[in-house]
Structure 1
Amino acid sequence: MRYQTILVGTDGSSSSLRAVTAAAELAAATRARLVVACAYLPMRESERAPAADRLGELAYKVSGSTPAEDTLRAARESAVAAGAGEVVLAAEEGEAVDVLVRLAEEHRAELLVVGNRGLNSLAGRLLGSVPSGVSHRAGCDVLIVRTTSGR
């Protein structure tokens, strides 16, 4: 099977950027389009006001989708450095699993890539993790990249 569209999720962490690099290398090898996705939840007003006061003219960085867009710009740099050709960025409001599954459908991705962070944690086992959630809900192949030691 040849993947034409690969979607990878990132939250800006070093772990998720390792997943972006792996997805980009695969996209380069298969000449697939790479969709880099970042889910975000809006900051509550009670949190945003104090943060904006502290940040001054940089307050826009905690408003709306700006943090997710900053994360995606950094991820694009990693993807291009790893050889990806066509890179599409997608920032969507919502829970990570919901957003990744929805975007995989919208972009008709044949492969959804995520890192393994959360799979072996107590919280991940009790509450569910992004890798576990997408592996159960995605309508396409899922690749869980070993981005952490899992211990």
Structure 2
Amino acid sequence: MSAYRTVVVGTDGSDSSLRAVARAGALAGACGAALVVACAYLPTEEDERELARARDVLRDEAYQVVGSHPAEDTVRRAGEAALAAGAGEVRTVAVVGSPVEALLDVVRREGADLLVVGNRGLAGIRGRLLGSVPADATRRSACDVLVVHTTG
């Protein structure tokens, strides 16, 4: 089995997701793989119903995933963290859409052979409304998925 060539990691800017970014950065560096750091966001001018739902569910945390400017800041900071963790080549991308759809789209476009996500799912009502990114990504991904233990 050969080493991974392209690794995609998702982030929403949370401390938990940045632990997954650091692990992906270290792994990509060790494998000599390119690392693509991705953040999904909802466009503020397009789907107002989804935007309202995200704000209702996420409340103060909605800024992390709503609108392209915060998403671009999030991937920039995460890219810096990945480099500090040992990644050699890092690209960042902010993608319109739900987290799982956006990650799977980036995996396809980049021809990635590994997707890295944190294990922090959304519990309770948040999880029922928005779904669990780690569970959905693992179930639907066409490439290997590494679920990093990022919580307590």
Deviation at 1:118, TM superposition (A): 1.0
Q: State the TM-score, normalized to the length of structure 1.
A: 0.81
Moved over 6 A (4+): none
Once residues 119 and 5 of structure 2 are traced to their aligned partners in structure 1, the CA distance between those partners, rounded to angstroms, is: 23
Q: State the TM-score, normalized to the length of structure 2.
A: 0.81
| Deviations 1:75-114 (CA, angstroms, capped at 9, x unpaired) | 0110110110100111110000000011101101100000
Deviation at 1:64, TM superposition (A): 4.2
Deviation at 1:44, TM superposition (A): 5.7
Once the two structures are aligned, what percentage of the paired residues are identical?
Answer: 57
Q: Name the residue aligned to 2:106.
A: 103
Does the CA-based 8 Å contact 1:40-1:91 persist in structure 2? yes
Q: Name the residue aligned to 2:138.
A: 135
| Deviations 1:30-83 (CA, angstroms, capped at 9, x unpaired) | 000000000000236989xxxxxxxxxxxxxx9841111000110011011011
Q: Name the residue aligned to 1:122.
A: 124
1:86 paired residue among 69, 80, 89:
89
> If you compute each CA radius of gyration, which structure gives the higher value, 1 or 2?
1
Point out where structure 1 has 5 or more consecutive residues left out of the alignment: 48-61
Secondary structure at the residue paired with 1:36? strand
Aligned alpha-carbon RMSD (Å): 2.2
Count of residues in correspondence between the two structures: 134
